[in-house]
Chains A and B, each alone.
Chain A
């Protein structure tokens, strides 16, 4: 087994009285694609957000247990959340580029972290756009607004923006569900390329996508992690009846 880069141990999460995650234990291997699947409200997106503390922003949220990133508990009080999010980046369901130029979108993160040199920023912008497989499409119009691009291109800009701060892990919350099949397949190809360098955790409702792109797959149901294993194993011979019912569409 590949070494774990993120480890959840006994993770409970409550939204007020409502327990959204129940004693989650999970080891996410480095430089692999891990897919989180399950019906709406099962806790998969909540779990994804615990991995870079995006849930901190939700009122009345209470978290018990630990999540370790490279052996360090990310819920310890003195942890610098900006540092964490630099290493564990996120791409959302709907492309959300900033209302500024393509260039400034990508340079935004590095600038926040104090990089000011034009040459260095140029390099980062080109490297990130290449990394997100969109450089060739936008190299001649870097000063144009990012919002003038198509949805699929915008999503790759968002991925490039996430890559610009050189993260370790990319969290993707249904990053292709708002895209057409061609843009989706470009992002899927990109994910296959990115996993050589990055650890990727995706939430997806598209089961075939989970089969196509992930190495490991986790099935969540009502806040519990029901099954976690190699994707091919989980989709050919699931160990739990509930997993089988869900992935074969006979759930409920």
Chain B
């Protein structure tokens, strides 16, 4: 029953998974761009985020077509409407990656700062959150979605650590202040990316339970 519709819903999940994979790739490229002496990785990140804009349009169009043609209700309606919400968060994640890539292009000092390890960790955790939230949606797994929300606390804690360290450096050495401020802004972008992943996880939960979670 409803074989065409079922396969269209599966395709929708596959496209969101692809877009999440692109987000992960963009995150890894921007992290590399922070220490990359030539602008290659930043350019790569920008080209990925551009393709994510196109993916967003494509997924939106599919959702609107599904609403029009299939007039979904119940779980089907939640699946399509959650996709429409999640795709916006994925696109915003792309925007944040583009912002980091733009910043890294004009970074004056590419020397590795002490906090870079933690920034990398933030990027890795955010990327994992994006991947896991979409996987939870595809698998209709509310528990897995819940774990993504927990990971966000770790990213928040890392952000606070990074900020504290960089502020200490600025106080200790005026010469490092510019770079420290740039890195604080980048860490803030990453922290926002994790928040978008939380939104996605909440829509994945909604898809299963029908309950819209309170926003943080």
- The distance from the CB of B184 to the nearest CB of chain A, in whole angstroms, is 43
Point out the residue from A211, A251, A252 that lies within 8 Å of B73, measured CB to CB. A211
A residues less than 8 Å from B1 (CB atoms): 249-252
Please list 25 pairs of residues, one from A and one from B, whose beta carbons are closer than 8 Å in the complex, sorted by A's number.
A207-B73, A211-B73, A235-B73, A235-B77, A236-B73, A236-B74, A236-B210, A237-B74, A237-B210, A238-B74, A244-B74, A247-B73, A247-B74, A248-B2, A248-B72, A248-B73, A248-B74, A248-B75, A248-B76, A249-B1, A249-B2, A249-B5, A250-B1, A251-B1, A252-B1
B:64-97 near A, CB below 8 Å:
71-78
- The distance from the CB of A39 to the nearest CB of chain B, in whole angstroms, is 12
The 7 closest A-B CB pairs, nearest first, are: A237-B210, A235-B73, A250-B1, A249-B2, A247-B73, A244-B74, A248-B76
- The distance from the CB of B8 to the nearest CB of chain A, in whole angstroms, is 13
Point out the residue from B2, B5, B71, B77 that lies within 8 Å of A236, measured CB to CB. B77
* Closest residue on chain A to residue B71 by CB atoms: A208
Measured in the bound complex, the distance between the Cα atoms of B75 and A133 in whole Å is 37
Measured in the bound complex, the distance between the Cα atoms of B78 and A180 in whole Å is 30
Binding site for A on B (CB under 8 A): 1-2, 5, 71-78, 210
A residues less than 8 Å from B73 (CB atoms): 207, 211, 235-236, 247-248
B78 touches A236 (CB 8 A): yes
* Closest residue on chain B to residue A250 by CB atoms: B1
Binding site for B on A (CB under 8 A): 207-208, 211, 235-238, 244, 247-252
- The distance from the CB of A206 to the nearest CB of chain B, in whole angstroms, is 11
Measured in the bound complex, the distance between the Cα atoms of B73 and A251 in whole Å is 14
B residues less than 8 Å from A244 (CB atoms): 74-75
A residues less than 8 Å from B76 (CB atoms): 248
Measured in the bound complex, the distance between the Cα atoms of B2 and A249 in whole Å is 7
B residues less than 8 Å from A250 (CB atoms): 1-2
Measured in the bound complex, the distance between the Cα atoms of B38 and A188 in whole Å is 66
B residues less than 8 Å from A238 (CB atoms): 74
* Closest residue on chain B to residue A247 by CB atoms: B73
Measured in the bound complex, the distance between the Cα atoms of B75 and A237 in whole Å is 7
Measured in the bound complex, the distance between the Cα atoms of B72 and A247 in whole Å is 9
Measured in the bound complex, the distance between the Cα atoms of B77 and A249 in whole Å is 12
- The distance from the CB of A185 to the nearest CB of chain B, in whole angstroms, is 16
